[in-house]
Amino acid sequence: MYRFNPLDFNPKAASEMLGLAEANYQELKKRRSVRDISSEVVPKELIEKIIMSAGTAPSGANKQPWTFCAVSNKAIKTQIRTAAEKEERESYENRMSEEWLKDLAPLGTDWQKPFLEEAPWLIIIFRKAYELENNVKSNTYYSQESVGIACGFLIQAIHQAGLVTLTHTPSPMGFLTQILNRPANERPYLVLPVGFPKKAALVPTITKKSLYEISVFYE
């Protein structure tokens, strides 16, 4: 059993709570996925703090089934870009359905991923399908859900720190296991290039669904 301590919780004044929720919404609403990431240097300390925020995420039985690989090494970034573009090219040209390509067309994405080399940092998130310590296996629980939540925290922390990112999902992404030399229990999950936006960065004029489209209240 863990020792149980009183919760460290500062109740907020009822009169402030709506304003706080509104302020958080207004800030998160400004987050955009940015493909035009500049090569301006981002200090390692900033990336470390951002990863620490992601590490506070809840996880099944507190197993924290994640590894965040932070890459600033140029040669490794080049290797990742080359391998990702090879897979992406194959996907765009042969593997993705007509409907998928039609859905992506307005966003202007293609198989080319210059941001994988240009961004000062790539954070590659790995999911631990099971624990492996000193060659001994043990379980993780709800690792898909847990790592998805941690990635949400990570993307949020990147935005709050004043940086931008893009959720890149190369497929298949087994090449990341090889390039980053990850153990057999870790599965690549997501690639986040992180940095400052280029001065001329452009983003599409997308909108988010309204509250009424995304929610149902049962009162």
What residue ranges bind ligand IYR (CB under 6 A)? 88, 104, 109, 168-171
Query: Do residues 41 and 118 lie in contact, with contact meaning Cβ atoms separated by under 8 Å?
Result: no
Distance CA 172, CA 91 (A): 9
CA angle 103/99/208 to nearest 5° reads 25
CB-nearer residue toward ligand IYR: 62 or 171:
171
Cα dihedral 153, 156, 160, 162, rounded to 10, equals 120
CB-nearer residue toward ligand IYR: 89 or 182:
89
CB-nearer residue toward ligand IYR: 53 or 112:
112
Q: Least distance to ligand IYR from the beta carbon of 131, Å?
A: 29
Q: Least distance to ligand IYR from the beta carbon of 109, Å?
A: 4
Distance CA 116, CA 84 (A): 9
Q: Least distance to ligand IYR from the beta carbon of 21, Å?
A: 28
For 130, the 3-state DSSP assignment is: strand
Taken as a whole, the chain contains a residue count of 219
CB-nearer residue toward ligand IYR: 53 or 109:
109
Q: Least distance to ligand IYR from the beta carbon of 71, Å?
A: 17
